[in-house]
């Protein structure tokens, strides 16, 4: 899509939103490779950052998809086209 500020493609939007998750995956893979034995030690700060990264991703997904979980089971279904249009509006 054009880079004139009017919007981005859905693929580009998803790629941007997945970058923190990819970085997190690389970090965790590296920690696994460095670990000796069966247990892995992470600092509280590292674990807090991992949880925050996942929370941010999930909040962004919920915001873009329009999905809101409700206690009574009344959930809004989201079609791919609706999510794409919402994502493009969000970026634009």
Report the mean per-residue pLDDT for the chain. 75
Distances from the Cα of 65 to the Cα of 24, 61, 89, angstroms: 23, 6, 12
pLDDT at 8 over 50: yes
Q: How confident is the model at residue 71 (pLDDT cuts 50, 70, 90)?
A: very low
Distance CA 76, CA 79 (A): 10
Which pLDDT does position 82 carry in this prediction? 58
Phi and psi torsions of 58, nearest 5°:
-65, -40
Taking alpha carbons only, the member of 74, 73, 75 closest to residue 65 is 75
pLDDT at 2 over 80: no
């Amino acid at each position: 899509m054009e880079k004139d500020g009017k919007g981005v493609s859905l693929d580009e939007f998803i790629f941007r939103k997945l970058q923190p998750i990819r970085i997190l995956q690389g970090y965790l893979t590296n920690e696994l490779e460095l670990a000796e034995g069966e247990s892995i030690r992470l600092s509280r700060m590292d674990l807090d950052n991992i949880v925050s990264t996942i929370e941010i991703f999930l909040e962004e997904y919920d915001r873009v998809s329009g999905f809101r979980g409700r206690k009574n089971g009344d959930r809004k279904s989201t079609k791919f086209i609706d999510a794409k249009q919402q994502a493009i509006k969000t970026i634009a």
